Amino acid sequence: MKHFFYPRSVAVIGVSEKESNLARNIVKNCLEFGFKGDIFGVGKKAGRILGIPIFTSIESLPQGIDLAVILTPAETIAGIMTELGKIGVQWIIIETGGFSEFDPRRQKLEAEILKVARRYNQRLIGPNCLGVINMETGLCTPFAPYRRDMRTGGVSIISQSGGMGRTFFSILESEGIGLNKFVSVGNKLDVGEAELLRYFLADSATGIVFLYLEDLREGRDFLAAAYNSDKPILVYKANRGRMGSSIALSHTKALATDDHVVEAALDEAGTIRIRKTYELGKALKAFHMPALKGPNLIVISRSGGHAVVAADACEMEGLCLPPLASELKGKLKKHLRANVIRLQNPLDMGDVYDFDVFLMAIEEALEQESIHGVLFVLVYPEFVNAQHVRRMIPYLEQFMRRYQKPIAATFISSPGELKKLREEFSLPIFSSSEEAVEALAISYHHHRLKKIRKVVSTGFQVYPSSHIEETLKKPSRRQRNLLLHESLEVLVINGFPVAPYKFVQNVTQAVNFARDFGFPVVLKMVSREILHKSKHDGVRLDINTFSGIRRAFLEMKRKMVDQGLEDQEWGLVIQKMVPAGQEVILGARRDPNFGPVVVFGLGGIFAEVFKDVAIRLAPLDELRAREMIKQVKSIPAFTGTDKKGRVDFKLIEECLLKVSDLIMTQEKIAELDINPLILYPHGGHIVDARIILR
Amino acid sequence: MKHFFYPRSVAVIGVSEKESNLARNIVKNCLEFGFKGDIFGVGKKAGRILGIPIFTSIESLPQGIDLAVILTPAETIAGIMTELGKIGVQWIIIETGGFSEFDPRRQKLEAEILKVARRYNQRLIGPNCLGVINMETGLCTPFAPYRRDMRTGGVSIISQSGGMGRTFFSILESEGIGLNKFVSVGNKLDVGEAELLRYFLADSATGIVFLYLEDLREGRDFLAAAYNSDKPILVYKANRGRMGSSIALSHTKALATDDHVVEAALDEAGTIRIRKTYELGKALKAFHMPALKGPNLIVISRSGGHAVVAADACEMEGLCLPPLASELKGKLKKHLRANVIRLQNPLDMGDVYDFDVFLMAIEEALEQESIHGVLFVLVYPEFVNAQHVRRMIPYLEQFMRRYQKPIAATFISSPGELKKLREEFSLPIFSSSEEAVEALAISYHHHRLKKIRKVVSTGFQVYPSSHIEETLKKPSRRQRNLLLHESLEVLVINGFPVAPYKFVQNVTQAVNFARDFGFPVVLKMVSREILHKSKHDGVRLDINTFSGIRRAFLEMKRKMVDQGLEDQEWGLVIQKMVPAGQEVILGARRDPNFGPVVVFGLGGIFAEVFKDVAIRLAPLDELRAREMIKQVKSIPAFTGTDKKGRVDFKLIEECLLKVSDLIMTQEKIAELDINPLILYPHGGHIVDARIILR
């Protein structure tokens, strides 16, 4: 991977002397960015561009070229790669567009390219990308012209879109944050985000990784890389559009839409999600300070208004402004004219014009063990205080190093002044107290999450599953999903608490069931046809007599005949009607990128209107199962001693673990939906379930 | 009010030749801003500052001074105002701080000042403020130094904090938006936000008003001013901290905390709420374009990534990207190389480098009747395209005028380039597609809200209320809130559907009630002591026999004696136990700033966990009552034909109107809580209520 970022020599293929030639921008950019290695051009006509020779064939290139950048028509690329392979070039960036992103039929071209790459052991970035920028070496391969406006620093970026790069660079430039490396991955034919992430996490020059992704194909691989990283990983996932969830067959699928799964997965891996590009600067600044290791802040402001706004923002973001300790008050009193300043948090220093007093107050605050960070808001006219501020900043930087606590410096002055400060210093500078508080909150919540994630390891038990596989065989062979009684059977085999039931095809069987299990009972239609419908009126509740069973059985059978539901696998499930209780739903599905996920919630209005469900990647362990239960906001409402009573939480936990095991061990199961599990103070019953095969 | 903003002459009181003197900044600012009127200084020592003479007494000032700006110690101000009164100065800005905002005991000083003002017919801005900036006349009274960095434009600002001013000016400057007037109102001793808002709404130079408020004292007055305005009114309400809602006696109070009421009120008046200072620029830009009069956008982007991000943002903000009409496709095809560009919305023009083609596509899109606006995202390197963009912008401005539809121009380039563009042009320029989409959404939702608000007029019926007053008399005289049966009685008088009940003090009365109304019945303890408790275990449900009544009565009486609840007003309410149904809660309370508000929701977990309640200012009309019902997200879950069946919406509506009438007509009622109203498909029953007096 290193040769993509630190090549000693680069060949740019597709250049010409013409002004309109795009590939010449690649050469131009490398020169503009100060690339120190050798550059060679390859084009149809010999000549020179910007002092670089143009070769007319690849074989005439000197030996030992590390990296080739190709910008020639799509059809020509496989051939060029073959020639490159022959002279031993193994690292290739293909910038040409017009592949599968434009027309799915062009996948053939991509397959051809991959074949060549395999033959010559070549690794590819692209196609349809801008390639690599490395601020350290001056490598800059985009085919659009770039200027070296950003400073060099520790942020490395993986972007699926080239165009978004300018947005990110513009944010870095205006915040005064330094870029380390940038890679535009395009169609990700070979090298993808997971591999690049792993490279950046190991790269000593990279301190923070930011990813812009439109899809996340190797989800698990990506997470594995992210999971144990100590470097902050920021992710902007675009393409969030809702799936047509109304057409989904199971609840689980409708609730766990792609974006919800991405959310759960990125959270599981301890990454920071960026939701708007304009919030990137704030998040990056958060990680250019020591972490906020607890929620307690002291706000020191020179304007009452900003103090109020900061306090509001703290409340909203879950940070605290504890009252000033009397020890701190005593120290402040010595320095402040306490008859004008009220010693409270937020501390409004309105009438103080002495910058040394600000510094003293900040340091005293940081010295308090129970205080985890300081928000300092300074409103000032630059033409009066510019020099004071410049004298102050090195102290703020020094304090942060010494106390290993963040000082979010918020300077309210003219835009020009802030621009100058950001050019002169590397201190992160905030321009509103809300932005500063939000950055501190990002830091705090990330620090907390990382700590939680560290104590937990993921594992799962494997159940003996041969019996289940037997149950899955028939439906799988007949290419249909499981009928109700088959789904319930899978659950029974796995030790789920299923309410007693039996699949029956005549009245006698049904009556015998009631004789064994007693009344009341429920009858439910079973048919292949019904499988395809998400809602059907095929249930009779609360049957209390044998004659009632007979009547219901015959009626339902007639109905099935009338509606054409009486195929060869028709029948009824007779089930013991269990007492009412608190209903919950649980399920699992396979996400195309992240694999198995488990879903849990109260169902009904809570799931559908309030989206109050917990989603996590399988496998679950006990801690994660318990976290899921806690995460559902509507749950505490029935944990108290109110009229509904407690429910058996242990049972939910066990069922969640069993669901997780099922989806992890049974390759054939695509979706599993338990709806509802009826809960009591002790125990509970599953009365309906649906299993969909791949 | 005009003399505050357009004075011909200003006296600045409190100046001296000393460098550290703050009042001299007022003179300096007026000169810096180019104030054309006369300026006079008043101070202890004669002299000159910046060429302006310092008078040593007020009586020596020339006649006919329009405005005085005072910055002298708090104790001296009443005296100075008296002298000003004598020479006929009626418009006064008091900038001095250290009044009630610092120490409540200093309210005495404020009262004195107000007395003088009444005597001499003086109007005051302040104290504890920075006064006025008027970009048109160059009046600039803050005592901190300012530079004229903002351009002159149509935005006028009312700010309760002086310090926040620099934040707003910095936003205006960096967005290239022009300021018209700024007023810092401080403690609002005399002139408040409502009066200033009215002045700005009538002021022809002001196009948009922005308010920063930490409290909103004259809530109704403010709303009345805002209600019929055609100018956009943007409000940032700080000080949003939650009230200690756990100590509130009634549900209504706990649910309708101050910030929820402010929210409801500002929405009712059709204002735009700003939640983060850093979002002000976006909102201001929204109103520097023609309104987005419908949800349909076409996104035209030169980068695929930005198109994806814009589409996500549209979905999130409730805007639509309809497929391109075939007519439009035909027109675009003529101009575009359709084999490279896919004709879809968002339209990714990746490979087009011809700026005339962009303009053509934008104009064709605007010409479509079903399209309400365009989002144009242009990623460009300034050193290549700066001139193209400058040639393009006047066309965009012209298109907006011609079609009266917004074009949100999003330019992704270096920060320096955007700064230059904003200085050169008055076109609002966005720097990310999310920001642009959010601005368009603000415009659209505001346009829609204003249209809805226009067709509705507010009014309320007054019920004959002498009988209610009678009921309220006893509790009011005894300085307690209403006992359960008294609360129910008020509801009965007002025609609410209360379940049959009777207040009883012996077994015979209770038994007789059951003889009249039948079983089952409920018994509830009544006592003054219980009034003060929010929860008490004083209810027996589901009593089905006369002996059951006797037993329960005696048990409950004994319990009351044991717990010391048996005061002189003790007793029990016996009530018909009504069938289960869908429970809802409704209520009303008086907000200190906005007066009566009505609250409605499903209660329980929906209100407490999901905050799913509707809050509106009283009085309600039918439309508003219906809107409230619609606003509760959990309501639709039981309007369908599912097992819970329909509920009587008409009855909810009637009850809401009655609640509104009660709180509007009964001055003595502070809070009213109906919990629950049990609803059936037809009709319903109130079984519990609580009325709290002022």
The per-residue pLDDT for range B93-129, each reduced to its tens digit, is: 999 988 877 777 888 999 999 999 999 999 999 999 9
Mean pLDDT calculated for residue range B202-210: 97
Mean pLDDT calculated for residue range B160-168: 92
pLDDT tens profile B53-74: 999 999 999 999 999 999 999 9
pLDDT tens profile A641-666: 444 557 888 899 999 999 998 998 88
**Total residues belonging to chain B:** 694
User: Comparing A598 with B642, which gets the higher pLDDT?
Assistant: A598
Do B604 and B583 meet the contact criterion of CB atoms below 8 Å apart?
Answer: yes
Question: Which residue in B has a C-alpha nearest to residue A434's C-alpha?
Answer: B276
* Chain B residues whose beta carbon lies within 8 Å of the beta carbon of residue A174: 415
What is the spatial distance between Cα B102 and Cα A455, in angstroms, rounded to a whole number?
A: 49
Pull the structure tokens for residue A553: 């059985």
Do A440 and A406 meet the contact criterion of CB atoms below 8 Å apart?
Answer: yes
B238 CB within 8 Å of a chain A CB:
yes
pLDDT on residue A104: 78
Q: Give ipTM to 2 decimals.
A: 0.83
Distances (CA, A) of B657 to B460, B461, B629, B653: 9, 9, 12, 6
Give the confidence band of B464 by pLDDT, cuts at 50, 70, 90: very low
Token look-up 């037809």 returns B682
pLDDT tens profile A385-428: 999 999 999 999 999 999 999 999 999 999 999 999 999 999 99
Hey, of B308, B411, B422, which one would you mutate to test binding to chain A, going by the most A CBs within 10 A of its CB?
Answer: B308
Q: Give me the percent of chain A exceeding a pLDDT of 90.
A: 62
Is the confidence at residue A492, as pLDDT, over 60? yes
**What burial class does residue B453 get, using C-beta atoms within 10 Å of its C-beta: 0-12 exposed, 13-18 middle, 19+ buried?**
middle
Closest of B280, B341, B320, B657 to residue B494, by C-alpha? B657
| Alpha-carbon gap: B342 to the closest alpha carbon of chain A (Å) | 8
Closest of B622, B628, B618, B620 to residue B585, by C-alpha? B628
Hey, of B28, B100, B146, B167, which one would you mutate to test binding to chain A, going by the most A CBs within 10 A of its CB?
Answer: B167
Is the confidence at residue A250, as pLDDT, over 90? no
pLDDT tens profile A193-210: 999 999 999 999 999 999
Task: Tell me whether residues A306 and B381 touch, CB distance under 8 A.
Answer: no
Task: Tell me whether residues A414 and B379 touch, CB distance under 8 A.
Answer: no
What is the spatial distance between Cα B688 and Cα B72, in angstroms, rounded to a whole number?
A: 59
Phi-psi region of B24 (alpha: psi -120 to 50; beta: other; left: phi over 0): alpha
Distances (CA, A) of B445 to A127, A241, A599, B229, B452: 41, 21, 35, 16, 11
C-beta atoms surrounding A88 within 10 Å:
12
Stated as kind and residue range, the H or E segment containing A201 is: helix A193-202
Q: Give me the percent of chain B exceeding a pLDDT of 90.
A: 62
What is the spatial distance between Cα A679 and Cα A353, in angstroms, rounded to a whole number?
A: 65
| Secondary structure (H, E, C), B358-405 | HHHHHHHHHHCCCCCEEEEEEECCHHHHHHHHHHHHHHHHHHHHHHCC
Question: Which residue in A has a C-alpha nearest to residue B342's C-alpha?
Answer: A102
C-beta atoms surrounding B21 within 10 Å:
18
| Beta strand spans in B592-666 (E) | 595-601, 613-617
Token look-up 């005296």 returns B79
pLDDT on residue B248: 39
What is the spatial distance between Cα B103 and Cα A341, in angstroms, rounded to a whole number?
A: 11
* Chain A residues whose beta carbon lies within 8 Å of the beta carbon of residue B636: 609
What is the spatial distance between Cα A306 and Cα A439, in angstroms, rounded to a whole number?
A: 16
Cβ contacts of A223-226, under 8 Å, gap ≥ 24: A223/A265, A223/A268, A223/A269, A223/A594, A223/A617, A224/A194, A225/A194, A225/A197, A225/A198, A225/A201, A226/A197, A226/A269, A226/A270, A226/A271
Q: What is the pTM of this model?
A: 0.85
Task: Tell me whether residues A637 and B608 touch, CB distance under 8 A.
Answer: yes
pLDDT tens profile B121-163: 999 999 999 999 999 999 999 999 999 988 999 999 999 989 8
What is the spatial distance between Cα B611 and Cα B604, in angstroms, rounded to a whole number?
A: 10
B432 CB within 8 Å of a chain A CB:
yes
Q: Give me the percent of chain A exceeding a pLDDT of 70.
A: 93
* Chain B residues whose beta carbon lies within 8 Å of the beta carbon of residue A161: 303-306, 308
A350 CB within 8 Å of a chain B CB:
yes
Phi, psi of B183 (to 5 degrees): -135, 130
Closest of B482, B488, B486 to residue B500, by C-alpha? B488
pLDDT tens profile B467-507: 677 788 888 888 888 999 999 999 988 889 999 999 999 99
Task: Tell me whether residues B312 and A240 touch, CB distance under 8 A.
Answer: yes
Pull the structure tokens for residue B76: 């001296």
**Strand bridging mode B347-348 / B297-301:** parallel
pLDDT tens profile B406-432: 999 999 999 999 999 999 999 999 999
Segment 110-169 of chain B within 8 Å of chain A by CB: 144-147, 149, 159-164, 166-167, 169
Give the confidence band of A536 by pLDDT, cuts at 50, 70, 90: low
pLDDT tens profile A425-457: 999 999 999 999 999 999 999 998 887 766 444
What is the spatial distance between Cα B374 and Cα B405, in angstroms, rounded to a whole number?
A: 8
**Total residues belonging to chain A:** 694
pLDDT tens profile B559-611: 888 888 778 888 999 999 999 888 899 999 988 778 889 999 987 777 777 77
Task: Tell me whether residues A431 and B610 touch, CB distance under 8 A.
Answer: no
Hey, of A102, A147, A149, A167, which one would you mutate to test binding to chain B, going by the most B CBs within 10 A of its CB?
Answer: A167
A353 CB within 8 Å of a chain B CB:
no
At A654, the amino acid letter reads E
A379: which residues sit within 8 A by CB, 6+ positions away? A302, A303, A306, A412, A413, B163, B166, B167
Pull the structure tokens for residue A563: 């509606």
| Beta strand spans in A363-476 (E) | 373-379, 407-412, 429-430
Question: Which residue in B has a C-alpha nearest to residue A242's C-alpha?
Answer: B315
pLDDT on residue B148: 92
Token look-up 């799931």 returns A607
What is the spatial distance between Cα B692 and Cα B674, in angstroms, rounded to a whole number?
A: 12
* Chain A residues whose beta carbon lies within 8 Å of the beta carbon of residue B610: 610, 612, 633-634
pLDDT on residue B680: 87
Alpha-carbon Rg for chain A, nearest whole angstrom, is 32
At B1, the amino acid letter reads M
Q: Which of A143-152, B355-364, B433-442 has the highest mean pLDDT?
A: B433-442
Half-sphere exposure of residue B577, counting CA atoms within 13 Å on the CB side? 15
Pull the structure tokens for residue A206: 């990279």
